A and B are shown apart, each in its own frame.
Chain A
Amino acid sequence: MRSRRGAPVLLYVVAVATVAFLIVPVIISVLGSFAGAWHRSLVGDFTLEWYKYVFDNYSRTIGISLLIGFLCMGIGILIGVPAAYAFAKYDFPGKTLFEQIVALPMAIPGIALAVAIIQTHSHIRGNWYFVLLGHLVVTLPYMVDTVTATLRGLNMQVYEESAASLGASWWQRFIHVVVPNIRQAIISGALMIFTISLGEFNMTLFLYTPMYMTLPIGLYESYASLRLEIGSAYTSIFLVLIIPVLLAIQYLGAADESELKNI
């Protein structure tokens, strides 16, 4: 009896320990961002000074990161959805190769990608959209992947044929039938793009110029200057931006699953 009871308790302890291991540093960092003096006290000496400092010195990085994140999302939808549709629906020479090439940036280290991009597009280096270009390369595959998988699972062809028989043109079929049925995949792809772009560091470190610094680069800079309390405040702002998006992705994933059960 003891072992039967013991096993769930042990599992519970392991689970709690794992969660603690993941969340405690985040909590400490958030608490530290409000603390007057690092190390001395975590909660006793409440201040918003560090937040003020971050907003005064780094608000531009937040704006740039949000701008690039939203642009990645928009461009990801405009390019990624049609590309996914083409991959899922049509057979064309070299299709498998194309698909693999599109997915490649997910596997290549950011540093290597950065070097490759710098070598290829050196003439636009220094422009703000140079960073955007890099972010598109690493985020686009997530949209294409998510939407292609959903399209393949849905057997969209019969819906499209059905719409065609009812008189719908190609464009009407795409807008009335295809897009609404992959809406969830598009939204979760877009949110994934946003979180990845917002947190992208490896590659951006090589692409950015001081004029167009992104949030993670600014964060790195603040830590590098050993201002931990400022870094903590900075991290907290980052979390506030990113956590709602992560929750939305989780929620959409769950909704997706329950919808599949209904079919």
Chain B
Amino acid sequence: MSPLAFLRNSWRWLTSMRTALILLFLLAVAAIPGSVLPQRSVKMEDVRGYFDANPKLAPVLDRLWAFDVFASPWFSAIYLLLFTSLIGCVVPRLRDQVRALRKPPPDAPMRMQRLPAYAKLDSHPEPQLKGWRVRRREHPDGTVTIAAERGYLKETGNLLFHTALLLVLVGVGIGTQWGWHANRLLVQGSDQAFCNTLQQYDDYGLGPRVSASDLPRFCLELNDFDVSYEDNGVPKFFDATVNGGLSFSVNRPLRLDGANVYLLGQGYALEIRYTDAQGRTQTTVSPFLPVDGMLTSEGVAAFPDANGSDKTKQIGFEGLYLPTASMGRSTHPAENDPQLILLAYSGDLGLDAGLAKSVYTLDKDRLKQMGEAKILRKGESWTLEDGSRVEFLGTRPWITISVRHDPGTPIVLAGAALLVIGLPLSLYGRRRRVWWRLHPDGSAEAGGLPKTDYPGFAEEFARLTRCPTTSS
């Protein structure tokens, strides 16, 4: 076989409906592992958890892109082949449809009695053909034919639907290339404000064509966070106010120029003041992370500068915060009876080792516990054995936000809208043709051809030809 013939055959195979069906099924099957196995793009922590639980299997799966299914070469290969097949199918049909729309309906076939619908008429009819594309032709032998066709919208809708799919793909591609997102935790107060630069985020992802300098410039300061709960602790309502009056919430993002800000989570940050034995005072605002729906929260307060420059005398506290305390845990997320349980440690906090450290846990390798755990209420203080003092000053709300920009969204939205418009046209439209042949002797015949599955065609044909019975 010549290479050209091979290419032609491959193309024919690729654009055949059978191949398209197989590819559709492959795509559906290929998506299943993406829901069964944890995905990096969905929840990074779950992937780490899977690696811990299956240390042998996970690396093997990882080599098969099992944790990045939707970005994997095999998933991409399926949908790219499918879209190639789609283009190969749509382009010739688009050409045919443009041609059909510009051409009048074809002339009546010679033997009309072989059409699925046929009628003999006694007189020359004047059919009511509103909405039909009609062409009347006079032939040299004296007969006149009327050709009528309608239902072009079916094919137009079908092409619109498939083109819209391509548009969605383009939009998704643009979003991946030029989009970016970043997340961080933001505590209330002007001292906690941040500006939109990558260093200020806890984590971020930039599209391949975005650089750090492309990020729009803005700063955010959380002024107020409003939340109310049902009696059983289920949240009723959230509202965050930033930059002196801009408000946003769940389902109601803050739309800034070039980025949107989404509210993802909330919790309490604890204001703790520590006064060392020499009388030097330090205050921290430490966000505590919730461990349950009632906002039982854990966190740490670290004072590396306590007791001068001696690194072995640094002070850190481990804390458990209970907004509504009852038997060592919180029973409601609102601050009805707040308690802070603190454990004090002294020693080397290990903050200067240059390693990335979580700000939510203490590295206790070189720390020594001081005394027993102590319960504090707001405003209370605790004097430790070395004469230093710790005070629980109060709490501030914090929120986690996601800042995102996806320039592909409007294109995907337009594609989705066209999909939804094209589908019904394609599924419910009915292309059909009807012809009349008027003979010079005064008799006439009519024939009809539904080009697509159309159960009601017989009735329509009977109505058009004003003839109670039809035969074939």
Q: Are chains A and B native binding partners rather than an unrelated pairing? A: no
